[in-house]
Amino acid sequence: MRVLDTAALLHWPVSELTGNICATSQQAELERVSPQRWMLVQAIDIEWRDVNEQWLDKARECAARSGDLPRLSDVDLDVLALALSLDLELVTDDYRLQNTMNAAGKVSQSVGTAGAQHVWKWELRCTGCRISLDVAEDVSRSRKGDVGECERCGSPLVLKKKR
């Protein structure tokens, strides 16, 4: 039994999907991305799980520790929370999810790519005063752009690989 990211639901054969676990929040994402695939997936024996707040807290903490939290979506956090809390392998092509799993000492598998080979650590860096900060659990999350403002000088904070 494994936790499947939406990439697996979209690209794996039906026989590989059966008997695995997915987050309930993935249903709307899958329906939006591929309505045809969503109709097929509904007929498969997949265990759909809601994620409780304690599990989400654990996922946020692990993702903040690796520095990947600012670039994870709500659905990503749900999938991560399931994998971490149920202590199951996570199947995903999302490098940030793989990186967080690896940093937590957990197993992940790639859907169709080579997968993460190394654990990267991320930090917040001010574009003004250049101060480096650890990623906090309450950091702003977005796919692109800045992830907050520097408390020291007010300039935007960006996510950078730790040196």
Reduced to 3 states (helix: H, G, I; strand: E, B; else coil), residue 47 is strand
Nearest Cα to Cα of residue 7 among 69, 98, 70: 98
**What would the pLDDT profile of 109-129 be if each residue is shown by its tens digit?**
888 665 555 667 777 889 899
Residue length of the chain: 163
Mean pLDDT across the stretch 2-21? Answer: 93
| Structural domains in the chain, sorted by start | 3-109 (3.40.50.1010), 121-163 (no CATH)
Residue 115: C-alpha distances to residues 27, 81, 130, 146 (Å): 24, 20, 31, 26
Q: Per the structure block, which two tokens stand in for 32? A: 């939006």
Contacts of 127 (CB under 8 A, 6+ apart): 146, 155, 156, 157, 158
Q: Counting Cβ atoms within 10 Å, is residue 76 exposed (0-12), middle (13-18) or buried (19+)?
A: buried
**What would the pLDDT profile of 31-48 be if each residue is shown by its tens digit?**
999 999 999 999 999 999
How high is the pLDDT of residue 129?
Answer: 92
Does pLDDT of 9 surpass 70? yes
Residue 134: C-alpha distances to residues 50, 82, 121, 145 (Å): 30, 25, 10, 17
How high is the pLDDT of residue 134?
Answer: 80
Does pLDDT of 143 surpass 70? no
How high is the pLDDT of residue 144?
Answer: 67
**What would the pLDDT profile of 49-67 be if each residue is shown by its tens digit?**
999 999 999 999 999 888 8
Reduced to 3 states (helix: H, G, I; strand: E, B; else coil), residue 143 is coil
How high is the pLDDT of residue 58?
Answer: 94
